[in-house]
Amino acid sequence: QQQVKQSPQSLIVQKGGISIINCAYENTAFDYFPWYQQFPGKGPALLIAIRPDVSEKKEGRFTISFNKSAKQFSLHIMDSQPGDSATYFCAAKGNDYKLSFGAGTTVTVRA
């Protein structure tokens, strides 16, 4: 049973455009929500993370928006670049130390 639902499965965006990936969860015990970026042949790398006491966090071109009441969070990639082409995973962690991942979104940025 997947604890974090992620959409879309894939998306294509033009260079300079905005990529938006959405995630939803049910477990209200989750208190840490990271996003990971994975390139082919590499392990997932932590991109940005948020805790539920804030509604938004921005790091460079990457922004997490968090809606606690709706139990949803999203990743926005502004000014998307070809180097951003990768698979992105949302995740959530509660007090059981276990990080549960979404199914992943493959982002392709066209030059």
Residues that bind other proteins in the complex, under the rule CB under 8 A: 32, 34, 36, 38, 41-46, 49, 87, 89, 95-101, 103-104
> Are 71 and 24 contacting, i.e. CB atoms less than 8 angstroms apart?
yes
End-to-end CA distance of the chain: 38
Minimum distance from residue 106 beta carbon to other proteins (Å): 8
Compute CA distances 47 → 3, 7, 27, 28, 70, whole Å. 20, 18, 22, 23, 23
CA Rg value for the chain = 13
User: Which lies closer to other proteins via its Cβ, residue 17 or residue 52?
Assistant: 52
Minimum distance from residue 14 beta carbon to other proteins (Å): 24
Minimum distance from residue 87 beta carbon to other proteins (Å): 6
User: Which lies closer to other proteins via its Cβ, residue 87 or residue 108?
Assistant: 87
- Whole-angstrom distance, CA of residue 70 vs CA of residue 25: 9
Minimum distance from residue 4 beta carbon to other proteins (Å): 11
User: Which lies closer to other proteins via its Cβ, residue 20 or residue 99?
Assistant: 99
